[in-house]
Amino acid sequence: MESDLRISYNVGGGGPKQKVVPIRDFAPEWAEAAALCLIPDASCIALILANGNVLLVPIKTLIDVPWGCEGIVADDSLVLIEVETNEGDCFRTPTSALCYNALYSKRPFLIYSNKAGQIFIIDLTSRKLSVGLGAPQSVHAIETFSAPNSVHLLVTGFTGAQWIVPLESEGRSLRETLADVIPSELEQLHKTAARLSTTQNGKLCLLDIDNRKVQLFDDIAMKQPCCEANVPENTWLVHLTENTVFAISQQTTMRTAVHFGMVSLFADVTYDELEAPLPEERILAIIPVASSQPMPFCVVICEKGLLRIQPARSLDEIMVEFVSRRNFAVDICDYLATRFNQDRSKLCTKIIRHSLEKMRDNRTEETSEIEALTKLALDAQLDMGAAIRVFAEFEAGDALLPVVLARCSANKRDESRHSVVELYMSKLKRFPAEKENIERDLRAFLLQYTDVDEGIKPLLVNGLWSCVATIVSRSSHNSETVAKYLAASKDDWPTDRTSHIVRTVAGICWSALPADSEELLTRMAYFLPHLRSISHIATFARIGEEQMNRFHQAGATLYALCSLRLLSAAPSFNYASLPSNTPLSCGSNCTAVVSEEESVMFVGEFSAGSMKMKDAERNKAASTSRLAMPRLVSVPERVCSVSCGTEHLLCLTTYGKVYSFGRNRFGECGVGHKGEVNEASRVRGPFEGVRTVRAGHYHSALIDSKGRVFTWGWALHGQLGHDTRDRFEDVTLPRLVETIQDPVIALSCGYAHTVFLSEAGKVYACGNGGYGQLGCGEEIKKRYRPLLVDIPEKVKLISSKYFHCLAVTESQKIFQWGTSPQALKMKIFLAKRVRAANKEQAPTASPSTSTIADDKPLELLETSQTHLGVQQVEHMITDEIAQIDAGYSHSAVLTTSGLVYTWGKGLEMQLGHGNKKEQEEPHQLFEPSATIWRHVSCGFDFTSAVAADGSVFVWGRNDKCQLGVQSTPSPQVTRKLIIKGPKGPRSIQIAADSPCIAVPTRLPSITAFVPSDSSSDEINDGNLIRFLQRLDPATISEVSSHLQRNAILSAAAVFVHLLAGELQSAVELLVHLPVPDQDIATLLSEQPAAQSSQSDVDSGSAVTPTSLLAVIWDLVLKHPNFGVQWTAVSTLISNYPIGDLLLRDRKLSAQAPMILAGKPDMLAGLSATEKLRLLEKWQPEAPLYPMQIAQNDLQNLGSRVRYWSCCGSVEKCGAARGNVAAEKRRVCAKCCDAWKCAIKSKFSKYS
């Protein structure tokens, strides 16, 4: 039987090559070979022939290699080594062969076995048989095992029995060692259920088939395995390489597992079945293939052929898989980096990149795997910037977000802060449902790190407008990016984010924009109708005015439209009519803010006092969030002032209307009942134009435009000021306080009392005075009639919310009366302690050494009632005081220069100075630095303030989340306090480490409404009309087109339509404006009886119109176009009873019968009597003569002319190209100019 050699080799890195060489080609007489092996130096191939002889074939005769023969074969000739055996031809057949270098002599030896159980050891140097052995049974395979001082031969019989034969040991050569070996005395190693083999790294590998495990041993004794690992079920053959395990199970199934030399660390090895199908015939053996690659190659020998196995994936992919199965442990990466001589950081980055890429390609997002990758990046101490780029590349950057935020919190200058926006965008892409929370958290971060200006484009694309508004002004690049995006956006701007859109365009650096940015102003004009807040409209107006020099038409259009809208809101635009404009108010455990959109945001809850620990609350999970998000209070109108009570909230709109909601247990909401009010409800009463609202503990009050006071709610102590028979009963609807005769300009509602400030600067108080709230010098439980508080100077400001009252005089003096129950109890407690101490010292101390002599008398200390009277508060405030506010046990003032001063108790850090120290005098608030304050409000034991830019800051106790910011400590954790008293010690439970905000901290989710500093007088009808008169026709037409889409009811808007030549639009707008009956009567009486509309438009009427209706009627009469004129007349007489004016005009009365006959609907506004009078006066006019045009005119104008029948003007047809607007209105250019002059003259009275 002839055989072929199948050779697979790789020389010089050119890739694996295959070659098949028939043996008969180089050795025709020895073509029958049964086994072969490679000489250790790879110079020859030893072919063991079927008859037992050995044929040495030089490698260079088979393949082209750069090495040759050294010593064994001197040249390229074949060498035959004859081996004599007495066995028959069948038993001579070789079964296995190997070559090895002797341990001591270093000579190469060839060992082979045959079916007869014979083992031949041939010295290749001498080319002679050195030793022959006989095994107990036919030999199936042989392997060598080398130890430091010995070499053994592992023999496997055809039944699976195995023996170990020593070849070299204890310094003895091969022949010396084998001389002592008696084959018949060899003992079988293991039972047949175990299989022993050798590994490439020189270890003994024992496969325990029954227990499904493989063990490795370092020595031949095999007493203690150095490591062991599992194998698949029914595994009968294992081949262990340096990095991989091959396992053959069920005869034909082959599985692999990568271990990278770490078998000792992993008892549970994961196996993967080969993807490529193997032949169905039985697998006989696995032959390793030498390779420089770290992953092994091998040849699988089957019954009918062989199959080459090579890695299907790269080393990087295999390492990623290996590390991922071990939870991406950094020590595994360290081991691999050392094993493969790679840089640790680069390897970890490579593993992270490949893992993320695999997840992206497979569209799987395992949270645990991403967390493990994050931990790997941190444990490996990778450069954070590089890690962020890798994670962000595969849209998993949000996994690093908590780490980066922690780094930034620890180091404000950490460079990773510039990547936070990118990480949040990655999180948004993975969790789009969390957009609101992501935007809130990102905006809070950007507000804290003011130098972060990256990532504006993804913020725009994802619609995170609050974040865009925060960073747009931080760089000119951001301004240009935002401007281009807003101008080029195909979608409409979001109408639910108007406040952020306004702040965004206001933050743009317009001077840095290119010359083609006019489109942004145009888009702003189209967005203008969606603005609800006056401040927003004023912001757009300012931008339009500032940009008129660069972009005249777009800027002027925007400014004109904004001015018209501001004028239409005139009743709410004059903030001077609302002296108590209060954008911020603090209750007992809640805060209300008027946002920049003039809506109400509410934070906290309606409850009284500090949080009381209930058993049910103590059992809540510690993970409960201590952050309460602001919620919107739906009020149907724009709100300018809020006032928080303990369990209710009052809202004052810009139109002087009052809304309320809350628990309403005492009727404090003023809606006519005591049921809970869950939505803002209108408070109705006999008042007119409310100017001020104030909410007390359980009662409420307001001041109307006439200075009258109305109160309602809890009435037990007389705090409502109603000295009537039912004064004890609660009031559920606003009731006039008739006990005060003077007009009231300010008031404050305390716990159970009310303080009034009259126009004359006098202070009155009523209600409960048990703690000195009435300032009368004595304790009064109930007072129903307000009485004067004795303050020596004229007062301009007052405040009270709980138990003490404050007043500021015109000379900047601060007066205070009343005290909190807590402070009074502490005072009494201290007095008792002093008295007890003095009694203990009395028997031993002489009068001369008494401590009372130097201090105040004990009786004075015990009975001091200074809080019952008015006391002056010493201070060093030099600026004018603009506002004052009182909390439970602390107070605050605001100066006109924007400084805030606080004083009082500070145990809850409500003073904002960063400590708990009590201050007896006002101390300035220095944090945050360079902040200009606009409003301050004191709560029960916390404080809030609004800065000039609308930022809201909070500080103090936050146990009910009333501050709207995160508090780390939880009030659910309590501690026991033991107090020693006269009756023995007693214990109380108090909140441990109450969650307080020590210094002013910004509330990131709210921007408060801050009125503009500009005067409302700057925008009025006169100024606007003068501005409109200076505009060019194209701009006027643009403004008019905007007004046609979104009408604004104002006289100036009518003027715009008239200037644009849109008479019908002006008339249609006019009919929606309120016209008093007196104006109509005046118009009918002053209109001349014989006036004719045929007079030239340049000539003004002898009688100046006294109303807008009269102006419009006069302009309608003078309009040169018949169709336009009659359409306007029809609209006017259909809406106003002015048909008599039509009868008085000669031209109209002459044309009316024809209109009545042809289009009777146009005169539907006339009465039957007026129609009869028209017919009676009608006289048909003479027939019209043919039109005549002078020959000279035709010669000068050309062959094509346009004739205007309304005025008889003739003009060249081509000239009409510049008068498209006039042509559209069917009026010639001359008449159009004359018309505009007439309009300007008629509206002169408005300017």
Entry pTM: 0.68
CA distance 362 to 1213: 71
pLDDT for 847 equals 47
Residue that wins the pLDDT comparison between 1198 and 172: 172
Does residue 644 fall inside a structural domain?
yes
Phi first, then psi: give them for residue 701, nearest 5 degrees.
-155, 160
Nearest residue to 333 via CA among 344, 324, 346, 318: 344
> Residues 624-640: what's their mean pLDDT?
76
Residue that wins the pLDDT comparison between 145 and 86: 145
Does residue 736 fall inside a structural domain?
yes
> Residues 493-521: what's their mean pLDDT?
88
Q: How confident is the model at residue 971 (pLDDT cuts 50, 70, 90)?
A: very low
Q: Is 96 helix (H, G, I), strand (E, B) or coil?
A: strand
In degrees to the nearest 10, what's the CA dihedral of 1020, 1022, 1026, 1029?
100
For 487, counting Cβ atoms within 10 Å of its Cβ (0-12 exposed, 13-18 middle, 19+ buried), the class is middle
pLDDT for 1078 equals 65
pLDDT greater than 90 at residue 580: no
Q: How confident is the model at residue 1097 (pLDDT cuts 50, 70, 90)?
A: very low
pLDDT for 1086 equals 59
Q: Token pair for residue 981?
A: 């008293």
> Residues 110-135: what's their mean pLDDT?
89
> How many CB atoms within 10 Å of residue 931?
19
Phi first, then psi: give them for residue 1245, nearest 5 degrees.
-70, -25
List the alpha helices (DSSP H) in 978-1106: 1021-1029, 1033-1045, 1051-1059, 1063-1070, 1077-1086
CATH classification at residue 130: 2.40.128.630
> Residues 20-45: what's their mean pLDDT?
84
Which residues, in sequence order, are CB contacts of 620 under 8 Å at separation 6+? 972
pLDDT in tens, 935-953: 999 999 899 999 988 889 9
Q: What Rg, from alpha-carbon coordinates, does the chain have?
A: 50
Which residues, in sequence order, are CB contacts of 215 under 8 Å at separation 6+? 205, 206, 208, 225, 227, 228
Q: How confident is the model at residue 900 (pLDDT cuts 50, 70, 90)?
A: very high
Sign of CA dihedral 1003, 1007, 1008, 1011: positive
Residue that wins the pLDDT comparison between 1022 and 1095: 1022
Q: Which residue has the tokens 């909601």?
A: 661
Assess whether 29 and 170 both reside in one domain: yes
pLDDT for 368 equals 79
pLDDT greater than 80 at residue 367: no
pLDDT in tens, 192-206: 678 888 887 778 888
Residue that wins the pLDDT comparison between 283 and 1212: 283
Angle between helices 384-393 and 401-410 (to 10 degrees): 150
Does residue 1167 fall inside a structural domain?
no
CATH classification at residue 728: 2.130.10.30
CA distance 397 to 425: 8
Last residue of a domain, one of 164, 190, 216: 190
Assess whether 786 and 647 both reside in one domain: yes
Assess whether 176 and 323 both reside in one domain: no
Does residue 325 fall inside a structural domain?
yes
Residue that wins the pLDDT comparison between 415 and 1188: 415
Which segment of 141-145, 261-265, 857-861, 1098-1102 scores lowest on mean pLDDT?
1098-1102
List the alpha helices (DSSP H) in 118-201: 174-178
CA distance 127 to 54: 9
Omega before residue 148 within 30° of 0, cis: no
Q: Which residue has the tokens 């057949």?
A: 93
Q: Token pair for residue 375?
A: 């931990």
Residue that wins the pLDDT comparison between 42 and 923: 923
CA distance 493 to 529: 12
Sign of CA dihedral 276, 280, 285, 289: negative
Which segment of 171-175, 224-228, 284-288, 718-722 scores lowest on mean pLDDT?
284-288
pLDDT for 172 equals 86
pLDDT for 1091 equals 46
pLDDT for 1212 equals 61
Q: How far is CA 575 from CA 949, 1090, 1100, in A?
A: 18, 48, 39
In degrees to the nearest 10, what's the CA dihedral of 1203, 1205, 1209, 1214?
-30
Nearest residue to 647 via CA among 719, 572, 588: 588
pLDDT in tens, 643-671: 999 999 999 988 889 999 999 999 999 99
> How many CB atoms within 10 Å of residue 879?
14
Cα 746 to its chain centre, rounded Å, is: 42
pLDDT in tens, 446-471: 888 888 988 899 999 999 998 999 89
Q: How confident is the model at residue 1132 (pLDDT cuts 50, 70, 90)?
A: confident
Which residues, in sequence order, are CB contacts of 830 under 8 Å at separation 6+? none
Does residue 853 fall inside a structural domain?
no
> Residues 1058-1079: what's their mean pLDDT?
78
pLDDT in tens, 219-234: 887 888 888 888 888 8
pLDDT in tens, 733-757: 999 999 888 899 999 999 999 999 9
Nearest residue to 104 via CA among 155, 175, 165, 38: 175
Which segment of 516-520, 560-564, 1192-1196, 1235-1239 scores lowest on mean pLDDT?
1192-1196
Nearest residue to 242 via CA among 334, 340, 323, 329: 340
Assess whether 20 and 162 both reside in one domain: yes
pLDDT greater than 90 at residue 63: no
pLDDT greater than 80 at residue 959: no
Last residue of a domain, one of 791, 816, 831: 791
pLDDT greater than 80 at residue 51: yes
Nearest residue to 872 via CA among 921, 803, 797, 814: 814
pLDDT for 945 equals 94
Q: Token pair for residue 34?
A: 């049964």
Which residues, in sequence order, are CB contacts of 140 under 8 Å at separation 6+? 95, 96, 156, 157, 158, 160
Which residues, in sequence order, are CB contacts of 1134 under 8 Å at separation 6+? 1164, 1165
pLDDT for 177 equals 83
pLDDT in tens, 794-843: 999 999 999 999 999 999 999 999 887 777 777 666 667 677 777 766 65
Q: How far is CA 125 from CA 39, 152, 318, 1107, in A?
A: 11, 21, 43, 131
pLDDT greater than 60 at residue 970: no
> Residues 1139-1159: what's their mean pLDDT?
69
pLDDT for 846 equals 46
| Total tally of structural domains belonging to the chain | 3
pLDDT greater than 90 at residue 725: no
Please report, as a single letter, which amino acid is at residue 1234. A
Ranked by mean pLDDT, the top range of 210-214, 338-342, 945-949 is: 945-949
Biggest CA-to-CA distance, the chain: 156
Does residue 857 fall inside a structural domain?
no
Q: How confident is the model at residue 1077 (pLDDT cuts 50, 70, 90)?
A: low
CB 734 within 8 A of CB 779: no
pLDDT greater than 60 at residue 171: yes
> Residues 401-406: what's their mean pLDDT?
86
pLDDT greater than 50 at residue 675: yes
Q: Which domain holds residue 168?
A: 5-190
Which segment of 109-118, 206-215, 1151-1160 scores lowest on mean pLDDT?
1151-1160
pLDDT in tens, 1188-1209: 555 555 555 555 656 555 555 6
Q: How confident is the model at residue 703 (pLDDT cuts 50, 70, 90)?
A: very high
Last residue of a domain, one of 360, 382, 404: 382
pLDDT for 1207 equals 59
Q: Token pair for residue 1041?
A: 């087109």
pLDDT greater than 60 at residue 1088: no
Does residue 1131 fall inside a structural domain?
no
pLDDT for 579 equals 46
Does residue 1067 fall inside a structural domain?
no
pLDDT greater than 90 at residue 696: yes
Q: How far is CA 520 from CA 264, 468, 476, 508, in A?
A: 69, 16, 16, 11
CB 1014 within 8 A of CB 574: no
For 585, counting Cβ atoms within 10 Å of its Cβ (0-12 exposed, 13-18 middle, 19+ buried), the class is buried
